[in-house]
Structures are given as structure tokens and as C-alpha cells.
Amino acid sequence: MTTGLPNFFEYNLWANLRLLDACEQLTDEQLDATMIGTFGSVRETLMHLFASEEGYVRSFTGTTPTPPLKELTTFVGFDELRRRAELSGKALITISKERDLSQTFYLDGGTYECQAYIVAIQAINHGIDHRSQIATLLSQQGIELPALDAWGYNDSMY
């Protein structure tokens, strides 16, 4: 079996869906709590996380779902977030298998130049960072998320 970048994106999708499953059980008060050092509330962080994933996919494909999450100002709900997470997650898996990651991208209206593999790295890093922030927000409220790390992923496969 060949392993590589697609495995990272398979893990990322698994962790995102598991996070959504856990957060869906929270109260409005728990979802809206904030603290210094995190992006925002759980709801805001989830919207940002999946809006960004759509943006990473757009960098490769030039397309995004309509309307893009980044244009929405209210929480779309867990069913829609799960649908969006699956779309962007599966697209990133396919991209990591099929695209030339050495191609040069000109992002931010052409003002920022980087190779495609940088966008792939950012997508993975960004997901881990914000899942960790949500875990911090919840742990400060006495709520423990299921394992979202590589060990949890490994254990879920057996």
C-alpha cells in the first residue's frame, strides 16, 4: 500500500467529522463560549474552519459551493457543515492524489505567490490548529472531546 499526502487528508476529514459529531451534542451556551487566545466561539471557529477548507479547494479548482461559507454571517447548522466538510475533505483527498503540487499559485488577487504544496500543508495545519482551539474552549468548560489526534485515528481503524 502506498502512503503519503492523501493519508493526511483522510485523517483531516475523519477528525473534522468526529469534531462535528461531538459539537452537535453541545448546548447553545457551550457553542457560544469564547476565551482569549482562540479564534472565537465554537460556532465561529467551525464556520471559519470549513470556509477556509473551501478556499483551499478553490485554490486548486477555481470552484466553490454556492454560497461560499465565507460569505455567510450566521451559523448554517451541523447538517450543512457536515455536508460542506465532506465535500471539501473529499476534494482535498482527490487533489492530493491527482494534482501537481509543484505548480505555482498566485493567491490573494495575485499578490501572494506560493507552490501548491504550501496550500496543502496550510490546509492540514489550519485544521489541526482550530480543532485544538475548540478542544481548549471545551476543556475550559469541563467538556472533553473524543480523541482527534493520530492515535485516535489509528484506533478508529481497528
CATH of the domain at 83: 1.20.120.450
Stretch 26-50: mean pLDDT, rounded? 95
User: For 89-141, what is each residue's pLDDT tens digit?
Assistant: 999 999 999 999 999 999 998 999 999 999 999 999 999 999 999 999 999 99
* Predicted local confidence at residue 12, as pLDDT: 98
Q: pTM for this one?
A: 0.94
How high is the mean pLDDT of the chain?
94
Residue 75 gets the label, from left (phi > 0), alpha (psi -120 to 50) or beta, of: beta
User: Measured between alpha carbons, how far is 46 from 39 in angstroms, rounded to an integer?
Assistant: 10
Stretch 16-34: mean pLDDT, rounded? 96
* Predicted local confidence at residue 118, as pLDDT: 96
Tell me which DSSP letter residue 70 carries: G
* Predicted local confidence at residue 158, as pLDDT: 85
Q: Assess contact for 134 and 23: CB atoms under 8 A.
A: yes
Dihedral (CA of 125, 129, 132, 134) sign: negative
User: Measured between alpha carbons, how far is 49 from 148 in angstroms, rounded to an integer?
Assistant: 15
85 is a domain residue: yes
* Predicted local confidence at residue 2, as pLDDT: 57
Tell me which DSSP letter residue 146 carries: P
Residues shown for the chain: 158
Residue 112, beta-bridge partner list: 107
User: Measured between alpha carbons, how far is 83 from 70 in angstroms, rounded to an integer?
Assistant: 15
Stated as kind and residue range, the H or E segment containing 145 is none
Per the structure, the count of domains in the chain is 1
Write out the residue range of the structural domain in which residue 137 sits: 42-153
81 is a domain residue: yes
1 is a domain residue: no
Stretch 52-59: mean pLDDT, rounded? 96
| Residue 66 or 134, more confident | 134
36 is a domain residue: no
